[in-house]
Amino acid sequence: MEEYLKFEKEADRLEVLIIRPIYTWILGIVLVIYALIANICISIQGLIVLITGTRNEGLNNPIKNYVEYIIQIYPYMSALTDERPEISHANMKVYLEVLGSGSNMEEFLKFESEASRLEVLIIRPIYNCILSIVLVIYALIAGICQGIQWWIILITGARNEGLANPIKNYIQFEIQIAPYRYSLTDERPQITPKDVKIFLERL
């Protein structure tokens, strides 16, 4: 098991200038394919929940794989690391530890069969709008920091931790809200991010 999003100071100028743009473009194409499959499954899953009040695990898995793929590629796509991820989805388990809560580490993205029709039909669309507004604000801040970080890497060959932290916060927030946004759970996340540590176990 390894901690996710640890700060990496050293950075390769060649990676930032030439390799990352090409590799990120390839990852982006694969991400779009996973997203299309996941969104089809989310739509069908919504109908099944309305009819049966439960989730179908077969439809749940492609959505879960999409979220895991986001987790897998975001550190590289956001220039937080030079370690290139696999182009396709890698099997993993994700664990979250909420700092300061005294609670143990919990497995993330576990399958939840029970689902609320009211949540799917009314509450989730409204709550997702609110989460999306907050996410866009974090994304704008992270995007500005990433642009400045790019120049700093080219000049110094190293990352600035002060600029890396807002990017890290954005990714952590997107991960925290992903299970709810993509209908993997009915448990509503906080509108602002929790202070968490994320750990990955490669399977």
Query: Pairing between strand 92-98 and 2-3?
Result: unpaired
Structure confidence by residue, pLDDT tens digits, 122-135:
999 999 999 999 99
At residue 170, does pLDDT exceed 90?
Answer: yes
At residue 103, does pLDDT exceed 80?
Answer: no
In 3D space, the residue among 137, 188, 129 whose CA is nearest the CA of residue 166 turns out to be 137
At residue 166, does pLDDT exceed 80?
Answer: yes
- CA 170 vs. chain centroid, Å, equals 9
What's the chain's average pLDDT?
94
The pLDDT, as a whole number, for residue 85 is 96
At residue 160, does pLDDT exceed 80?
Answer: yes
Q: What DSSP line would sit under 6-58, residue for residue?
A: ----B--HHIIIIIHHHHHHHHHHHHHHHHHHHHHHHHHHHHHHHHHSB--HH
CA-to-CA distance for 63 and 195, rounded, in angstroms? 25
Structure confidence by residue, pLDDT tens digits, 20-29:
999 999 999 9
CA-to-CA distance for 79 and 147, rounded, in angstroms? 10
Strand order in the sheet with 92-98: 2-3, 196-202, 92-98, 106-108
Burial class of residue 75 (count of CB atoms within 10 Å of its CB; 0-12, 13-18, 19+): buried
